C-alpha cells in the first residue's frame, strides 16, 4: 500500500473526510468532513483569520452564496469563466480537454493554448478516452461555463448563480464597507465561505471539487499610495519559481528574501511581496513542509487580463505541485466594472492636505437658442459641447465650433455655448482603489497539511502511523485515559477531562482497550498529548502520565486537586509558546505538592 492509499484509508476510517452521499452512490466533486476533519478545517480557518484578518486589523464579512445575474455580468464570469470540455463519442463521458493534454503530453499549461489548439494537440497525439479507449481525434473542444445556475424566487424571471468565488460579495458591498472604514485607504475586508464551480472532471480528492471553501482578503489601496511597511517580513526567506525559470524549463527555485526579491525585480509589487512574506511564515506555522513548498509566478498566458502580477503558493502533494493560494494585484478592474454596471459610486474621497485652486473649461449653453434650433436633440448638443470643452478647449477660440450629432456635423456660434475658463477650489478627489488579493483554497490547504503531517515509525518494534499536526490545528488536543475503569481512576479521569473542556480544549475520553492501543488511536488523529490516570493519581501523589505524540515518551507530571499549572502549560502548548518537552521539564522541575522529590520519567 502506498502512502497515498494509506492517507485515503486513514481519512475515511478516522473521520477526516470521505465522498458525500455514499448511501446513494456518491456524487463526484463533493466531500463530507467527518468529526476530526471538521475540527481540523475549523482550526485552519481560525488560524487564517488570526493571521490575515485579526493581526492585520482587517474587517470580516459573510456574504450570501447565491447572487443575482447582473453581479456576474459585471464581474465577467458570465462570459469568461469557462473550462475546455470534450465529450467522448462512444461512452459520452465528459473530459476536461486541457487536462487530457497535460496528463498525456509534455505540455504543462494547456489551458493557455485555447480550445482550437487543444483540439489539434489531441489529434496530433492520438489521445484516447481514458474511460473507454475511444479515439478522440477530430472531436470538438468547447467552452463550458463553470457556474451553477438557479432562479431566485418563483419562476425564471430572476436568474441567479451560486458564487464561483467569495470576492464578488465583497466588491458589490464596497460603498458600505468603505463607510465602515471611515473612507480611509488602505483597508482590507476578508471572508471565509463556500464557493461553487461545476467542474467538468473533479479529481485528486479534495484538490479539484465542485463545492469548496475559500478564505479571501481584498485589500483596497490607493493607486499612488505608500507601499506597505516591509520591516516585519523583509528577511523572510522565499523559494520562488519565476517566469524566466519556468520558460527555461529549469526545476531549480530561486532562494531569496522578500527584500532581495523586490530589489532584484523578481517580484514587482511591494504589496504582493508583503503578503508572500506573511503567507510563508503562516504556512510554516500550520505545518506545511517547507521542502515541498514554493511560490510560482503566473505565466503571461495564464494571468488574468486585469492582473499586473500574480504568484501562486504551491505545495507538493504526491508527485504533483498543487496551487493552494493565489496572490494578485487586481488593479481597479472589479470596482470599475461594478460601478459601470450598477451606477453606484465605487470610489473613496481622498482629501488633500491643503485645498487646491484649479482652472477648468466649462460651457453654459443658451437653451433659448439650442431648444428651437435642435428640439429634442438639444441635450445631446449640450453633452457634445461639454465633451469638446473638456478634451479640446482650444476649439472654442474661433467664432464657431463644429460638433457631430448622430453622424451629422453642426456649427454652433461660440458665444451661444457660454464657454469660459472657470476657477474652482477643490478639497480632494474621488479615487477608485486598487485591489490586492491573497486568495486561499481552504480544502487544498487542508489536504496539504494532512499529507505533510503524515508520519510512520516504529515504537517498541511495532509500526506506528501518526499525524504530526501543530498543536493549534490538532482536531483533538488531548486524550484522557483511566488506566482501568475502577478504584476511582475513571472518576478522576473524567474530572480532569471536564476541567480541560472548561478551558476550551478538545478532549477525547477513552477507556476502551489497552493503553497502547488507545495511544495509537490518538496518534492516528494527531492528538498532541495524552494524560493517563492510574493508582498513583488517586492513591499517591496525584500525578498523571503525560505522553508526547511525536516522541512517544512519557513522564509523570503533577495533577493534584489544583490543576491550574497543568492547564496553563497545555494552554501554552496549544498557543505555540511551549513544547511538550518544555512543559514536562517545567512541571517536573519542582516536587509535587507536599514532596521535595521530583517526579521520575518513564518510557512507553
Q: What would the pLDDT profile of 397-413 be if each residue is shown by its tens digit?
A: 999 999 998 888 999 99
Q: Is the per-residue pLDDT at 314 higher than 60?
A: yes
Q: Is the per-residue pLDDT at 503 higher than 70?
A: yes
d(CA 121, CA 101): 7
Q: Is the per-residue pLDDT at 80 higher than 60?
A: yes
pLDDT in tens, 241-266: 999 999 888 888 999 999 999 999 99
Residue 499's domain is classified under what CATH number? 3.40.50.800
d(CA 126, CA 239): 38
Counting the structural domains of the chain, the total is 3
* Residue 115 within a domain: no
Q: Say yes or no: 17 and 164 in one domain.
A: yes
Q: Is the per-residue pLDDT at 307 higher than 80?
A: no
Bridging pattern class, strands 187-196 and 149-151:
unpaired
d(CA 396, CA 417): 9
d(CA 482, CA 545): 10
Q: Say yes or no: 499 and 409 in one domain.
A: no
Q: Say yes or no: 285 and 385 in one domain.
A: no
* Residue 99 within a domain: no
* Residue 184 within a domain: yes
Q: Is the per-residue pLDDT at 57 higher than 50?
A: yes
d(CA 436, CA 218): 6
Residue 28's domain is classified under what CATH number? 3.30.930.10
* Residue 127 within a domain: no
Helix (H, G, I), strand (E, B) or coil at 19: strand
Q: What is the pLDDT of residue 600?
A: 42
* Secondary structure element (H or E) that encloses residue 351, with its range: strand 348-362
Q: What is the pLDDT of residue 517?
A: 94
pLDDT level of residue 594 (50, 70, 90 thresholds): very low
Q: Is the per-residue pLDDT at 315 higher than 80?
A: yes
Contact 575, 472 (CB under 8 A): yes
d(CA 66, CA 186): 28
* Residue 503 within a domain: yes
Q: Say yes or no: 72 and 209 in one domain.
A: yes
Q: What is the pLDDT of residue 506?
A: 97
d(CA 333, CA 127): 39
**Using omega within 30 degrees of 0 as the cis cutoff, is the peptide bond preceding 113 cis?**
no
* Secondary structure element (H or E) that encloses residue 313, with its range: strand 310-317
* Residue 265 within a domain: yes
pLDDT in tens, 356-390: 888 999 999 999 999 999 999 999 999 999 999 99
d(CA 593, CA 555): 17
pLDDT in tens, 196-241: 999 998 988 999 999 999 999 999 999 999 999 999 999 999 999 9
Q: What is the pLDDT of residue 592?
A: 37
pLDDT in tens, 515-542: 999 999 999 999 999 999 999 999 988 9
Q: Say yes or no: 62 and 172 in one domain.
A: yes
Q: What is the pLDDT of residue 263?
A: 96
* Residue 90 within a domain: no
Q: What is the pLDDT of residue 581?
A: 87
d(CA 35, CA 525): 11
d(CA 261, CA 242): 10
Q: Which of 68-77, 109-118, 399-408 has the largest mean confidence?
A: 68-77
Q: What is the pLDDT of residue 304?
A: 72
The whole-angstrom distance between residue 38's C-alpha and the CA centroid of its chain comes to 17
Q: Say yes or no: 391 and 303 in one domain.
A: no
Q: Is the per-residue pLDDT at 597 higher than 70?
A: no
3-class DSSP string for 58-82 = CEECCCCCEEEHHHHHHHCHHHHCE
Residues 6+ apart with CB under 8 A from 151: 157, 158, 159, 160
The answer to whether the Cα torsion of 552, 554, 557, 563 is positive or negative is: positive
Q: Say yes or no: 269 and 363 in one domain.
A: no
Q: What is the pLDDT of residue 407?
A: 84
Residues 555-570 have a mean pLDDT of 87
**For 62-218, where are the alpha helices, taking DSSP H only?**
69-75, 77-80, 97-104, 115-124, 167-171, 174-180
Q: Say yes or no: 64 and 21 in one domain.
A: yes
Q: What is the pLDDT of residue 302?
A: 78
Q: Say yes or no: 314 and 369 in one domain.
A: no
Backbone φ/ψ region at 370: left (φ over 0), alpha (ψ -120 to 50), beta: alpha
Q: What is the pLDDT of residue 593?
A: 35
Q: Say yes or no: 474 and 359 in one domain.
A: no
What domain range is 537 assigned to? 465-602
Helix (H, G, I), strand (E, B) or coil at 532: strand
Q: What is the pLDDT of residue 445?
A: 98
**For 376-441, where are the alpha helices, taking DSSP H only?**
378-391, 414-417
pLDDT in tens, 81-99: 888 999 999 999 999 999 9
Q: Say yes or no: 420 and 486 in one domain.
A: no
pLDDT level of residue 317 (50, 70, 90 thresholds): very high
pLDDT level of residue 595 (50, 70, 90 thresholds): very low
Q: Say yes or no: 263 and 372 in one domain.
A: no
Q: What is the pLDDT of residue 421?
A: 93
Last residue of a domain, one of 406, 441, 476: 441
* Residue 455 within a domain: no
pLDDT in tens, 452-483: 999 999 988 889 999 999 999 999 999 999 99
Amino acid at each position: 500500500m502506498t502512502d497515498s492509499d494509506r492517507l485515503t484509508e486513514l481519512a475515511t476510517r478516522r473521520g477526516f473526510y470521505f465522498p458525500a452521499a455514499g448511501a446513494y452512490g456518491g456524487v463526484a466533486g463533493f466531500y463530507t468532513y467527518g468529526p476530526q476533519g471538521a475540527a481540523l478545517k475549523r482550526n485552519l480557518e481560525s488560524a487564517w483569520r488570526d493571521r490575515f484578518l485579526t493581526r492585520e486589523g482587517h474587517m470580516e464579512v459573510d456574504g450570501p452564496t447565491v447572487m443575482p445575474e447582473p453581479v456576474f455580468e459585471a464581474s465577467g464570469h458570465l462570459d469568461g469563466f469557462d473550462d475546455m470540455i470534450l465529450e467522448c463519442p462512444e461512452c459520452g463521458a465528459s473530459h476536461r480537454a486541457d487536462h487530457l493534454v497535460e496528463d498525456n503530453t509534455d505540455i504543462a499549461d494547456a489551458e493557455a493554448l485555447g480550445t482550437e489548439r487543444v483540439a489539434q494537440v489531441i489529434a496530433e497525439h492520438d489521445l484516447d478516452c481514458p474511460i473507454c479507449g475511444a479515439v478522440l481525434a477530430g472531436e470538438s473542444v468547447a467552452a463550458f461555463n463553470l457556474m451553477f445556475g438557479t432562479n431566485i424566487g418563483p419562476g425564471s424571471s430572476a436568474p441567479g448563480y451560486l458564487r464561483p468565488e467569495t470576492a464578488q460579495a465583497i466588491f458589490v458591498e464596497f460603498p458600505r464597507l468603505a463607510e465602515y472604514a471611515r473612507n480611509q485607504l488602505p483597508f482590507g475586508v476578508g471572508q471565509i465561505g463556500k464557493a461553487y464551480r461545476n467542474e467538468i472532471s473533479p479529481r485528486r480528492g479534495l484538490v479539484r471539487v465542485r463545492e469548496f471553501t475559500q478564505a479571501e482578503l481584498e485589500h483596497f489601496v490607493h493607486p499612488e499610495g505608500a507601499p506597505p511597511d516591509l520591516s516585519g517580513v523583509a528577511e523572510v526567506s522565499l523559494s520562488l519559481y519565476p517566469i524566466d525559470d519556468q520558460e527555461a524549463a529549469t526545476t531549480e527555485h530561486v532562494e531569496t528574501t522578500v527584500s532581495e526579491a523586490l530589489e532584484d525585480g523578481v517580484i514587482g509589487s511591494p504589496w504582493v511581496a508583503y503578503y508572500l512574506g506573511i503567507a510563508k511564515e503562516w504556512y510554516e506555522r500550520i505545518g506545511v513542509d517547507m521542502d515541498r513548498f514554493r511560490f510560482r509566478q503566473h505565466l503571461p498566458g495564464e494571468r488574468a487580463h486585469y492582473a499586473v502580477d500574480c504568484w501562486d503558493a504551491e505545495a507538493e502533494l504526491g508527485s504533483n505541485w498543487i496551487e493552494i493560494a493565489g496572490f494578485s494585484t487586481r488593479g481597479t478592474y472589479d470596482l470599475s466594472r461594478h460601478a459601470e454596471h450598477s451606477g453606484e459610486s465605487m470610489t473613496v474621497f481622498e482629501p488633500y492636505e491643503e485645498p487646491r485652486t484649479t482652472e477648468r473649461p466649462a460651457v453654459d449653453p443658451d437653451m433659448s437658442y439650442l431648444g428651437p434650433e435642435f428640439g429634442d436633440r438639444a441635450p445631446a448638443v449640450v453633452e457634445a459641447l461639454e465633451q469638446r470643452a473638456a478634451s479640446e478647449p482650444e476649439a472654442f477660440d474661433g467664432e464657431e465650433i463644429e460638433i457631430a450629432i448622430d453622424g451629422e456635423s453642426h456649427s454652433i456660434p461660440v458665444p451661444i455655448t457660454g464657454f469660459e475658463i472657470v476657477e474652482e477650489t477643490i478639497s480632494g478627489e474621488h479615487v477608485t482603489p486598487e485591489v490586492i488579493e491573497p486568495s486561499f483554497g481552504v480544502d487544498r490547504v487542508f489536504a496539504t497539511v494532512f499529507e505533510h503531517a503524515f508520519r510512520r515509525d516504529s515504537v517498541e518494534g511495532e509500526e506506528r502511523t501518526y499525524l504530526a499536526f501543530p498543536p493549534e490545528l490538532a482536531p483533538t488536543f488531548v486524550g484522557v485515559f483511566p488506566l482501568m475503569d475502577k478504584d476511582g481512576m475513571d472518576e478522576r479521569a473524567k474530572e480532569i477531562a471536564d476541567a480541560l473542556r472548561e478551558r476550551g480544549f478538545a478532549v477525547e475520553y477513552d477507556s476502551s482497550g489497552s493503553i497502547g492501543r488507545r495511544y495509537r488511536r490518538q496518534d492516528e488523529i494527531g492528538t498532541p498529548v495524552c494524560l493517563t490516570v492510574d493508582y498513583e493519581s488517586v492513591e499517591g501523589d496525584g500525578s498523571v502520565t503525560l505522553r508526547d505524540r511525536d516522541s512517544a515518551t512519557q513522564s509523570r507530571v503533577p495533577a493534584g486537586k489544583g490543576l491550574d499549572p497543568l492547564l496553563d502549560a497545555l494552554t501554552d502548548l496549544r498557543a505555540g509558546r511551549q513544547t511538550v518537552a518544555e512543559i514536562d521539564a517545567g512541571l517536573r522541575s519542582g516536587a509535587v505538592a507536599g514532596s521535595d522529590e521530583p517526579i521520575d520519567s518513564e518510557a512507553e
